[in-house]
Structures are given as C-alpha cells and as structure tokens.
Amino acid sequence: MKMSMRIRVARQRGRFSQEKLALALGVTRGAVANWECSDSVLPASARLAKLAEVTGVAYEWLATGRGPMGLAGHAEPQAVEGVMVYEEQELRLLDAFRRLDAVSRQQLILLSEANLPRLRMRRR
C-alpha cells in the first residue's frame, strides 16, 4: 500500500475529515488532500509523526508500511518478525488466515501440514 493510501486509511481510522486533520496538524485541507492523492507530495517526517499520533496509528506503519498499523500492545506481529509476501494468492491466504479465530487457524494449519507430503510427491 502506498503512503498516500496509508495516510487516507489513518485519517479515516481516526475519524477525521480532511479539514479536521488539517487543523490538528496546522496545515491546509489542500495539503492533506495532496498527501492522499499524490505519491510525489509527502509530509515532512515531523508532520508524519504528528499525523500518526493524532490518528492513533504506528509511525513505522505510516512511514514505511511495515509493522502493525495499531500502536504498541496490539497483537499484530512486529516488522522484524515479518515476512515479505510477493504472490497475490499467498497474500490472500495470509489475509484470510489473520481474519480467522484461533480454532479455525489451528484447523487450517493442520490441514495444510497434512497435505504437504502429497504435494511434495506430485512435484517429483
């Protein structure tokens, strides 16, 4: 996800209009709109840190897209524990897995692991 989209998501998550966020950051509404619509117009680091604080998202996520979106104490994995995902199917599976409850996650893991030997035999 591009930074412009992360800024929009953070603003919406914090339940701010562009105008209210602009007031909280001491900028114009047009500046916020530009950040959300352009990949070449970005806020300065200090302003980005304030945006993260005001909207309640993690600075690292807002600035880089890595790590959990929420602040510390959230159950999501930290960036250092992360794995890069490049394939669309793998990304969809990971997204679905994260939405499952604990019992369903365990069942999916067991099902996947049970199919591993068969998959290896087919590839040979």
Which is higher by pLDDT, 119 or 97? 97
Q: Distance (Å, rounded) from C-alpha 96 to C-alpha 50?
A: 32
pLDDT digits (tens, 9 = 90+) for 94-115: 888 888 888 888 998 898 888 8
CATH of 3-70, one of 1.10.260.40, 2.40.50.140, 3.90.550.10, 3.30.1540.20: 1.10.260.40
Give mean pLDDT, residues 50-73: 86
Give the pLDDT band (50/70/90) at residue 50. very high
pTM: 0.57
Which is higher by pLDDT, 115 or 72? 115
